A and B are shown apart, each in its own frame.
Chain A
């Protein structure tokens, strides 16, 4: 029955049978991968064009061994391979950085096998692996900043190992929201310093569109609205390294689909922990709450959620030449130019406000809430 067979064909190549449905189109896995890869490459095309006649741009790709960043790596690797095979210019180079997941997550996920699989499946790339507590080596001033930030709740013991000192600092922060917030700030700084030390001009982050929407909403809820211009938008970070989010046009669900048709990734990716069902809202962190919100609403209104990240991406970066910035997260101190609001004045007054931004002050260990 030929008619029936026709119905099962990929809408794009009309050659193979379709395997996946993406954005109401039925595609075979090859065409699906091409569709996803195109969305990513169009975001990075400027780097390619720039590297054709000049020196190649060096990019840093931090890989958490989660789905999104691993898929991004796979896409970039496939593209590179394809270009080299065809004798076409590549345009940019990228290095891979893995911050040891066991030193970040409290649960101590074993990841050695995944890391080995990463090295085995992507042998052409420089892969570096550093623990979270190497932040003391990469950002020497961090020791002092932590002491200042932690206040009376954090007693630093310099005789102990870096690992223990970082653990003590993280433990001094009392709420899940503040802990997640400060962890993100510290990880970002570590990755930025690594990028600078290894000569990378830009960092390409593996945040999916869903993740960016959740980040934007959480950032706003934590008083970090002014920083969205580099935490969610593509743009220059305060450290002089550009941030790019090439997965911004792709939903998390689509990246999961991609992973499912990629044999090379099956050993690399550490699967996401399923969100636990019976957690009281008040025990969640704001980041988790927003992630859940975007997931729940995204099931019904994916476009509306996608639009959140797009809206944030339209904001202008603030003209903050020479304006003082936060010692911890490098966000602007006080208000963005043109904002005459007095929220800052309502904040608890103490001498720390002069060094840390509004958002960081909210996550400080001795902040009451």
Chain B
């Protein structure tokens, strides 16, 4: 078969079939188009302002490596005037994070960006390895996810940066939309798709510039630009349940490649249709508090364990059963309802944003999720455990996080 010419430039030989729309492209055109689309997203959503300092949440994986590479390229090409740096979180997973951090360190040199690494042990007094030792392999992703969210915010605060960008891609966002629909989680449905999540409670703004980029295209981009990234998945994640949403999206992509983007579009529209009272403090002010609490790390984001699904099923069945026991009270004949009642007026739960009483982090609860999890961990910590540098046996567990934070801040200044 004769080589096909590139769909875009009609000259060079096509070597790539774009996963998004099956266009056949040459290498140079693919890279150019991919970058231009990210640029259009950035411009179309007014993501940055000139002179803004941006921390790129870097894990060493494909998504954040591509994000760093593209942002550096676009920053120079279009003169965004951004001050970029890399921010990494060391969860303390030996055999995974220590290797991927080496990649990030190389990236910092390759892209000429400053790098800051903040560790869980420094922040919480626990590495993920220690957490897994304590709670087992099942369910540890919850700890990791909750801890990471706060860690990125705190890391950015330490650097005096107000805007963290993460490598979430279109597949991640689509997965979240489907997951939240399956979970019946309207508050998360209303904010899961927005490109920026920021809040009044926290100064740190978060955004995902790769929100419209396909995972497969990110891999292709990394491959064709020969980027240096780390491919091993978290050693704890193979244990994680590969949820319904992910399988569904992979099947949909096989049927109609555009469906990932179509789900994102649907998700954005539906977010605007979520009743205001469910959204919490309003769309622009929502916090994304604990947004990833059920998600865990990037490779696990939006997925949930089979146990959770079964638990929800049980809860719903119980609700149903108790509903059947309710007595219907009929209005007297005089009081009539017109048939044009809308779907409004249905009972919905509201979320309010508060501050954690212990660590002052934003939370919808009195005590934030991280402190609650830490409480549980510290309560069960064997007294004989040998700890280096962190003496917490004599301390009130509740103040641990505050103290660790102070220490982290002091060491930074």
Chain A, residue nearest B264 (CB)? A343
Tell me the complex Cα distance, A335–B272, Å: 9
Tell me the complex Cα distance, A238–B106, Å: 56
Closest CB-CB distance, A43 to chain B, in whole Å?
11
Residues of A within 8 A of B310 (CB): 301
Residues of A within 8 A of B184 (CB): 307-308, 310-311
Residues of A within 8 A of B266 (CB): 219-226
B316 to A306, Cβ gap below 8 A? yes
Contact of A342 among B21, B44, B315, B344 (CB under 8 A): B44
Tell me the complex Cα distance, A338–B261, Å: 19
Q: Is A217 an interface residue (CB 8 A)?
A: yes
Tell me the complex Cα distance, A286–B253, Å: 10
Tell me the complex Cα distance, A88–B257, Å: 56
B312 to A304, Cβ gap below 8 A? yes
Q: Is B161 an interface residue (CB 8 A)?
A: no
Contact of A220 among B257, B270, B317 (CB under 8 A): B270
Contact of A303 among B254, B271, B312 (CB under 8 A): B312
Residues of B within 8 A of A236 (CB): 340, 342
Contact of B268 among A284, A306, A341 (CB under 8 A): A341
B21-45 vs A, CB cutoff 8 Å, 1 = contact: the mask equals 1110000000000000100110011
Q: Is B390 an interface residue (CB 8 A)?
A: no
Q: Which of B292-344 contact A (CB under 8 A)?
A: 309-310, 312-313, 315-317, 320-321, 324, 328, 333, 336-344
Segment of A1-9, A67-75, A139-147, A315-323 in the binding face: A315-323
Q: Is A160 an interface residue (CB 8 A)?
A: no
Contact of B244 among A221, A223, A297, A310 (CB under 8 A): A297
Residues of A within 8 A of B88 (CB): none
Q: Is B255 an interface residue (CB 8 A)?
A: yes
Q: Is B155 an interface residue (CB 8 A)?
A: no
Tell me the complex Cα distance, A302–B37, Å: 41
Tell me the complex Cα distance, A317–B343, Å: 8
Residues of A within 8 A of B406 (CB): none
Chain A, residue nearest B270 (CB)? A225
B267 to A225, Cβ gap below 8 A? yes
Residues of B within 8 A of A313 (CB): 343, 346
Interface of B is mostly: helix
Contact of B272 among A57, A308, A339, A368 (CB under 8 A): A339
Contact of B22 among A42, A300, A340, A369 (CB under 8 A): A369
B181 to A289, Cβ gap below 8 A? no
Q: Is B164 an interface residue (CB 8 A)?
A: no
A286 to B339, Cβ gap below 8 A? no
A341 to B256, Cβ gap below 8 A? no
Q: Is B99 an interface residue (CB 8 A)?
A: no
A286 to B22, Cβ gap below 8 A? no
Closest CB-CB distance, B185 to chain A, in whole Å?
8
Q: Is A165 an interface residue (CB 8 A)?
A: no
B313 to A50, Cβ gap below 8 A? no
Q: Is B370 an interface residue (CB 8 A)?
A: no
Q: How large is the interface on B (under 10, 10 to 19, 20 to 34, 35 or more residues)?
A: 35 or more
Tell me the complex Cα distance, A314–B185, Å: 11
Chain B, residue nearest A201 (CB)? B339
Interface of A is mostly: helix
Tell me the complex Cα distance, A189–B261, Å: 27
Q: Is A30 an interface residue (CB 8 A)?
A: no
Q: Given A301-B310, A303-B313, A338-B283, does the pair A284, B255 have CB atoms closer than 8 Å?
A: yes
Contact of B270 among A228, A285, A301, A308 (CB under 8 A): A228
Q: Is A337 an interface residue (CB 8 A)?
A: yes
Residues of B within 8 A of A50 (CB): 336-339
Residues of B within 8 A of A306 (CB): 316
Closest CB-CB distance, A129 to chain B, in whole Å?
28
Residues of A within 8 A of B23 (CB): 368
Q: Is A168 an interface residue (CB 8 A)?
A: no
Residues of B within 8 A of A99 (CB): none
Residues of B within 8 A of A297 (CB): 244
Residues of A within 8 A of B112 (CB): none
Tell me the complex Cα distance, A177–B251, Å: 13
Q: Is A293 an interface residue (CB 8 A)?
A: yes
Chain B, residue nearest A344 (CB)? B265
Residues of A within 8 A of B274 (CB): 314-316
Chain A, residue nearest B344 (CB)? A316
Closest CB-CB distance, A117 to chain B, in whole Å?
32
B258 to A342, Cβ gap below 8 A? no
Contact of A216 among B22, B44, B181, B344 (CB under 8 A): B181
Q: Is B252 an interface residue (CB 8 A)?
A: yes
Contact of A362 among B189, B252, B256, B313 (CB under 8 A): B256
Residues of A within 8 A of B98 (CB): none
Residues of B within 8 A of A289 (CB): 251-252, 255
Interface core residue of B255, B263, B309 (most chain A CB under 10 Å): B255
A342 to B41, Cβ gap below 8 A? yes
A303 to B317, Cβ gap below 8 A? yes
Tell me the complex Cα distance, A202–B341, Å: 13
Chain B, residue nearest A284 (CB)? B255
Q: Is B280 an interface residue (CB 8 A)?
A: no
Q: Which of B3-29 contact A (CB under 8 A)?
A: 21-23
Contact of B264 among A217, A336, A341 (CB under 8 A): A341
Closest CB-CB distance, B113 to chain A, in whole Å?
27
Closest CB-CB distance, B253 to chain A, in whole Å?
9
Interface core residue of A225, A302, A313, A339 (most chain B CB under 10 Å): A225
Residues of A within 8 A of B340 (CB): 236, 242
Interface core residue of A47, A301, A358 (most chain B CB under 10 Å): A301
A316 to B343, Cβ gap below 8 A? yes
Residues of B within 8 A of A316 (CB): 273-275, 342-344
- Extra pairs beyond A42-B328, A177-B256, A223-B262 (17, CB < 8 Å): A220-B262, A221-B259, A221-B263, A222-B259, A223-B266, A225-B268, A236-B340, A281-B255, A303-B313, A303-B317, A307-B182, A310-B184, A311-B185, A316-B273, A318-B269, A343-B261, A345-B44
Q: Give 10 closest A-B pairs by Cβ, nearest first.
A: A225-B266, A303-B316, A223-B262, A341-B268, A338-B272, A226-B269, A343-B265, A342-B44, A311-B184, A220-B266
Chain A to chain B contacts (Cβ below 8 Å), 16 pairs: A24-B321, A50-B336, A50-B338, A220-B177, A221-B259, A282-B255, A303-B320, A304-B309, A306-B316, A308-B184, A315-B275, A316-B274, A335-B268, A336-B268, A341-B268, A342-B44
